[in-house]
Structure 1
């Protein structure tokens, strides 16, 4: 039970309801679909002193950080080329939204490259980048909400209106 208490402390005050749901009790599991997974992960990572495997800082410009980004960038670039060829601008928007779930850099560089090569309209590229930013901001606000409701609300109030306003301005 000590490990369960540590996991609950790590997840905040709403972690208690999720921990009860993870233990099989009828708590508000339907309201917090991510929490049972987080509690399970935290419980698996706990040792006697708390969360095991503390993160160490590493060089963000090193090969270990650059290689995964390069692979992601290549995948996004191929997906944008394929989607634009098969589905037109709707495909570009779909890839932008999916890419925005993870990162903005790869989709921005891919679309800028397509635009400078002349194979993509500037308005489509701009809308796709804004869509990716909107999705990325929504993901950040959602993650903040699942961590702490007030944090999620603050992130949503800070990030989403600007992205929605930019999207509306292009309308």
Structure 2
């Protein structure tokens, strides 16, 4: 007897919004809402594709999705227990096969997007203080006041100014 063929794709493909002026876990003045945040392991990175017709250098990479911290269902895409994440934003990222990473995706035109740069952070271990900080931030509904005691942690990733900005915005809103 023939087994039915599964049509569920095990790969989540996410576009690179290379033109966005900000990247990382704290974009926008008050911290834009995440569409997808996950912890993963770099499985493979292709060689860069040099193409004069493109405005950026494409370099595809594949990440094993190990743990999803938050996800929203969007009109054109949704995280549905896919095992792999694929995007072409890996050019000049300081990661290699086997590295553990924390990945931040946002919504763009009803789909997931990754603005590159600091939207993929290398994590040393599962109890990395930055990972614990971002988990608390997500559990609080992205309440930036939850990050106040963690500003120094984010400095190590070059994100101190961004963290201070979202905290200041939240404090200003709390006064209203």
TM-score after normalising by structure 1: 0.26
Higher helix share: 1
TM-score after normalising by structure 2: 0.26
